[in-house]
């Protein structure tokens, strides 16, 4: 005669089954999280490689711009920073948005860092926050000057940052790669924000202080208060002619800058073009963002990248 299972045994079996189910569900959830993490890591790794490739590819348009357009840049007299947009483009590959933006700042349109630290009258053209941060930083004599030296002191500089951000531009139109839906995708509130929409324009030390200016002031790109101070030190006139030319978008002629006095011993060289430019390169691949600061200096007819810094923002 078969004896019925006791309630205790049935309860134990049910508990065992329940425990097994809990372990199985937990293991499945853990595996799902691991799989998701691995997938995310692979996506990030792939996008990082693409971003690095874009950084290297960005040198070609920079060199082309330097060779063909840098010597003809004229900024309006009301410009407060020698900033020029070189390139801003966006496209879609495999349903992933890509964006590349290159912005240039004329190193010869700013106060040389060594001059600003020496007490030159050109220092008066700098904002108060810039001078405050500048005075807090010691630049080693055996180390080339770079904006990275100011990162530790930026928190005491008020509203000033270190690496300047480009001026905000209109929404980007993402162009589809061949073989994909050819309809353009306009960046809007419902689409992932691009560099131009999510990165507000902002001032920074790099918009006022030149780390690689050999001691010249470009009268066609520098802020007018800096141009005026440079002309005074150089014993040159012609400020009105410079303002008139820049208002009309023409290069100011140095021959029109008549001598008015003997030049100061610390006078900068007055120039109509620049031989040193700094570039901010902003990249976006999906949600991954990378930014770099690169300085190019001209030696005879060749432009060379002399400094490249990652922007920690």
Query: What distance in Å separates the CA atoms of residue 96 and residue 93, rounded to the nearest whole number?
Result: 5
pLDDT digits (tens, 9 = 90+) for 248-270: 999 998 988 888 888 888 899 99
Within-domain flag for 33: no
Whether 24 is in a domain gets the answer: no
The set of residues, in sequence order, having a beta carbon less than 8 Å from that of 226 and lying 6+ positions away, is 109, 110, 111, 122, 125, 217
Structural domain harbouring 185: 58-310
**168 part of a folded domain:** yes
10 Å CB burial of residue 44 (0-12, 13-18, 19+) is middle
Kindly report the average pLDDT of the chain as a whole number.
Answer: 81
Asked if residue 46 is part of any domain, the answer here is no
- Going by pLDDT thresholds of 50, 70 and 90, the confidence category of residue 24 is low
Domains of the chain: total: 1
Could you tell me if residue 45 is inside a domain?
no
Res 118 pLDDT > 60: yes
Residue 190 is predicted with a pLDDT of 34
Q: Does the pLDDT of residue 69 top 60, yes or no?
A: yes
Residue 10 belongs to some domain of the structure: no
Say which residue the tokens 């992933």 belong to.
Answer: 96
Whether residue 293 lies inside any domain: the answer is: yes
| Maximum CA extent, the chain | 127
Of 83-97, 174-188, 189-203, 273-287, minimum mean pLDDT range: 189-203
310 vs 26, which has greater pLDDT?
A: 310
What integer pLDDT is reported at residue 195 of this predicted model?
A: 42
Q: Considering the domain boundaries, does residue 206 fall inside one?
A: yes
Three-state DSSP state, 207: helix
Between 310 and 178, residue with greater pLDDT: 310
Dump pLDDT digits (tens) for 83-98: 999 999 998 988 888 8
Dump pLDDT digits (tens) for 206-236.
999 999 998 999 999 999 999 999 999 999 9
């Amino acid at each position: 005669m078969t004896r019925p299972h006791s309630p205790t045994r049935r309860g134990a079996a049910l508990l065992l089954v329940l425990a097994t189910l809990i372990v199985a569900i937990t293991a499945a959830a853990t595996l799902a999280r691991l799989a998701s993490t691995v997938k995310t890591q692979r996506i990030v790794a792939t996008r990082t490689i693409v971003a690095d490739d874009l950084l290297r590819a960005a040198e070609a348009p920079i060199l082309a711009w330097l060779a063909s357009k840098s010597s003809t840049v004229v900024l309006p007299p009301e410009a407060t920073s020698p900033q020029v947009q070189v390139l801003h483009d966006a496209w879609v590959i495999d349903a992933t948005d890509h964006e590349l933006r290159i912005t240039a700042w004329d190193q010869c349109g700013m106060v040389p860092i060594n001059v600003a630290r020496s007490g030159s009258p050109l220092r008066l053209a700098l904002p108060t926050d810039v001078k405050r941060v500048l005075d807090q930083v010691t630049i080693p004599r055996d180390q080339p000057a770079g904006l990275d030296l100011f990162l530790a002191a930026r928190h005491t500089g008020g509203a000033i940052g270190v690496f300047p951000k480009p001026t905000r531009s209109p929404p980007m139109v993402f162009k589809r790669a061949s073989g994909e839906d050819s309809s353009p995708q306009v960046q809007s509130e419902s689409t992932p924000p691009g560099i131009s929409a999510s990165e507000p324009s902002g001032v920074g030390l790099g918009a006022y202080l030149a780390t690689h200016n050999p001691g010249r002031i470009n009268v066609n790109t520098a802020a007018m208060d800096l141009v005026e101070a440079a002309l005074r030190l150089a014993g040159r006139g012609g400020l009105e002619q410079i303002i008139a030319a820049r208002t009309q978008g023409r290069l100011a002629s140095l021959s029109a800058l008549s001598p008015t006095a003997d030049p100061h011993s610390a006078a900068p060289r007055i120039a109509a073009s620049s031989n040193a430019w700094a570039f901010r390169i902003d990249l976006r691949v999906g949600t991954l963002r990378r930014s770099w600061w690169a300085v190019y200096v001209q030696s005879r007819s060749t432009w060379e990248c002399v400094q490249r810094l990652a922007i920690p923002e």
